[in-house]
Amino acid sequence: MGQKGSSEQRDGDKSREDSPAPDHDHKCRVCRFPLLVALSQLLLGVAVTVVAFLMLAISPSLLARETPHWAGIILCLVSIVGFILHCATYHPDERSTAQFIAKLLYFALCAIGLVISVLVVAFAGYHHAQTSSFSCLPAAEACVCTLNPRDPIARTFTYEGVRDCQEITETLPLYYLLQIVLNLAQAFFCAVGAFIMWKHRYQVFFSGLQIGSFRRWSKLLKRANC
């Protein structure tokens, strides 16, 4: 019995040695989920907000859908939830109620951020195409623009507080293009965050100890059957 128990213990120790190391490597803390995704979301959210306020500085006549600072602020909130989730010692399966709530909230906010970023890309693309075709004339500390200057009944767009119409025809389309790029990156990181959360929730990830225990019990069952 003593030799049999010692051999089983050696088999168990060997199986634990052969199993992959647990996911507690501290060599690259920044590369871990959700810290890397949350940090990228924070930087992109700040960039989108700054560009939106720069656009608003050109003319106060710009509408909210033309200056999507709200999209950047929402993504900053998403990143804050990601930081909270990282500080709660992230695990593939739920270890506590607070962690489950944080994971669920982060998944929902990532999905919302993805939809909002796609909407901003659509708005920015439309306004970029529109402003690129503008023909503008200055008028009393404002800039009056039309899509077709030869059409007497064409719709006009008045941008107040603009001294140089080149800011509307050249600078503003550049900002729209920058918003398209930034919000596409936002949508990508929101999709990555939502996908990883879904994958960790509905697919099984075993730690090294669990794999070692499974192999040890498999060998014991085979020996018992023999």
The residue-averaged pLDDT of 128-144 equals 88
The answer to whether residue 2 sits within a structural domain is: no
The answer to whether residue 6 sits within a structural domain is: no
- Confidence band for 20, pLDDT divided at 50, 70 and 90: very low
The answer to whether residue 102 sits within a structural domain is: yes
The residue-averaged pLDDT of 65-76 equals 92
Question: How many structural domains compose the chain?
Answer: 1
* CA dist 111 → 14, 32, 114 (Å): 44, 20, 5
The answer to whether residue 153 sits within a structural domain is: no
The residue-averaged pLDDT of 2-30 equals 48
CB atoms < 10 A from the CB of 214, how many? 13
Model pTM score: 0.71
Asked if the bond preceding 173 is cis, omega within 30° of 0, the reply is no
Angle, CA of 145, 151 and 157, to the nearest 5°: 20
Residue 142 has what DSSP assignment?
E
Q: Which domain holds residue 192?
A: 29-136+173-225
**What's the pLDDT at 110?**
93
The answer to whether residue 9 sits within a structural domain is: no
- Confidence band for 214, pLDDT divided at 50, 70 and 90: low
- Going by C-alpha positions, the residue among 128, 196, 119, 131 that lies closest to residue 162 is 131
Ramachandran region of residue 141, left (φ > 0), alpha (ψ -120 to 50) or beta?
A: left
Strand bridging mode 156-160 / 142-146:
antiparallel
The residue-averaged pLDDT of 192-199 equals 85
**What's the pLDDT at 220?**
57
The answer to whether residue 81 sits within a structural domain is: yes
- Confidence band for 209, pLDDT divided at 50, 70 and 90: very low
Contact 49, 80 (CB under 8 A): no
- Confidence band for 207, pLDDT divided at 50, 70 and 90: very low
The answer to whether residue 17 sits within a structural domain is: no
Query: Is the pLDDT assigned to residue 210 strictly greater than 70?
Result: no
